Amino acid sequence: MTKKALPKYVYEDRGYIRFIRRSRGQSVMMKGEPGTDAFWDEYRLLLKGREPVPTTRNFEALILSYYESDAFKKLKPRTKSDYRKYIGHIRAIWGTKDPAKIEPHHVYELHRANAEHWRQANYLVQVMVVLMNHARLIGFLRKEHGNPAKGIPLFKQESEGWEPWPDDVRAEFEKIATPRARLVYELCLGTGQRIGDVLNIRWGHLKDGAYDFTQGKTGKPLWIPLTDRLKVYLATVDKKGLTVITDASGRPVRYRTVADEMRKVKAQMNHANAAKYVTHGLRKNATIELYLAGCDDEMVKAVTGHSGVEMLKKYGGQVRQKVLAARAQEARNRMEQNKPGT
């Protein structure tokens, strides 16, 4: 549907119809189908500055209400994008269904139906918990119903997450990588940050030999001194724009563009398993290197921004255990040596 086919102040927005009147601060998802009597009734109310109260209790109305809630509006852009993706899946299968009729076995079946992709399946359940909490807040669920998505057993991660890049993969990548792919590689490895934060690095964030920024996913402010290796590499990079990673014209680049470029480089490598090592794995490399350098958990967290030890266990894995065990046994040896008569 084109804008010309919609009345004043009404726009298409990601598969929904939104009423936007900036002078009054109005931005409302419309429930009625354009052209229907329900749509025009709703439109007339919005022109008067009033928002219609949803009368139909289904997931479509629940989702629209959640998108207008303060809870959703306060989410980080990346989280909003993820939520929209999974909420869209729920909307497609249960859009006309009454949330009050959802029982735990429905959510369990939804989870199992996506078992082939365990991360996505778990995220679906987590988003369902959020939606059903909102359903209670707006009166779509009674208190005694509880939240049918809570308590669903999630799939356990079979491995320790993304694999760190082995030395031979790193060596070959460094030899054949394009300049931009190599820059992404060095920044991810040197800072230990997620690719989203790396793509947002501006030259202005690099002050006095450190990276001063706020993590996009966690909202956590961090100040990270650059490694000597990263300082040397950045000294060879031309400053084409505000961001460190740019296109040929000096403009910021999107994640998809960089991800495609990294994949193409790995596709040209001789290493048989090069394709399985993803960019996020370099964050694990950085974590492991910090542990091997003798850093404790708090020091590692100060660089990577991990919020808790559980995540560090996933990223540091067996290396973390070995380092801590070695330090513990060294302490025992020192104690034995200091005993009288030894």
Residues of 31-41 as b/e, b for ≥16 C-beta within 10 angstroms? beeeeeeebee
- Kindly state whether residues 171 and 298 are assigned to the same domain: yes
The whole-number average pLDDT for the span 286-304 is 91
pLDDT score of 216: 85
pLDDT score of 174: 97
- Kindly state whether residues 208 and 296 are assigned to the same domain: yes
Structure tokens at 254: 């999107």
Structure tokens at 137: 């807040």
- Kindly state whether residues 187 and 148 are assigned to the same domain: no
- On whether residue 127 sits in a domain, the answer given is yes
Q: pLDDT tens digits, residue range 256-265?
A: 999 999 999 9
pLDDT score of 260: 95
In the structure, what pLDDT confidence band is assigned to residue 341 with cuts at 50, 70 and 90?
low
- On whether residue 297 sits in a domain, the answer given is yes
Structure tokens at 163: 């694999």
pLDDT score of 161: 58
- Kindly state whether residues 133 and 218 are assigned to the same domain: no
- Kindly state whether residues 113 and 184 are assigned to the same domain: no
Residue 158 in this model has a pLDDT that exceeds 70: no
pLDDT score of 326: 84
- On whether residue 255 sits in a domain, the answer given is yes
Question: Domain holding 72: CATH number?
Answer: 1.10.150
- On whether residue 115 sits in a domain, the answer given is yes
Amino acid code (one letter) for 212: D
- Kindly state whether residues 41 and 79 are assigned to the same domain: no
- On whether residue 159 sits in a domain, the answer given is no
Question: Domain holding 236: CATH number?
Answer: 1.10.443.10
pTM of this structure:
0.65
Residue 322 in this model has a pLDDT that exceeds 90: no
- On whether residue 217 sits in a domain, the answer given is yes
Question: Are 220 and 214 a contacting pair, CB within 8 Å?
Answer: yes
The phi and psi torsions of 241 (rounded to 5 degrees) equal -155, -165
Q: pLDDT tens digits, residue range 245-255?
A: 999 999 999 99
Distance CA 328, CA 322 (A): 10
Which structural domain range is residue 79 located in?
Answer: 56-154
- Kindly state whether residues 255 and 277 are assigned to the same domain: yes
Who has greater pLDDT, 115 or 309?
A: 115
- On whether residue 91 sits in a domain, the answer given is yes
Q: pLDDT tens digits, residue range 200-233?
A: 999 999 999 999 998 888 888 999 999 999 999 9
Show Cβ contacts of residue 224 under 8 Å, excluding neighbours closer than 6 positions.
191, 192, 210, 211, 302, 303
pLDDT score of 319: 83
- Kindly state whether residues 189 and 245 are assigned to the same domain: yes
- Kindly state whether residues 218 and 323 are assigned to the same domain: yes
Q: pLDDT tens digits, residue range 267-288?
A: 999 999 999 999 999 999 999 9
- Kindly state whether residues 274 and 172 are assigned to the same domain: yes
Who has greater pLDDT, 225 or 21?
A: 225
- On whether residue 338 sits in a domain, the answer given is no
pLDDT score of 98: 92
In the structure, what pLDDT confidence band is assigned to residue 4 with cuts at 50, 70 and 90?
low
pLDDT score of 332: 87
Q: pLDDT tens digits, residue range 40-81?
A: 888 888 888 766 555 578 898 899 889 989 999 988 887 888
In the structure, what pLDDT confidence band is assigned to residue 3 with cuts at 50, 70 and 90?
low
Distance CA 316, CA 318 (A): 6
Last-in-domain residue among 36, 53, 70:
53
In the structure, what pLDDT confidence band is assigned to residue 133 with cuts at 50, 70 and 90?
very high
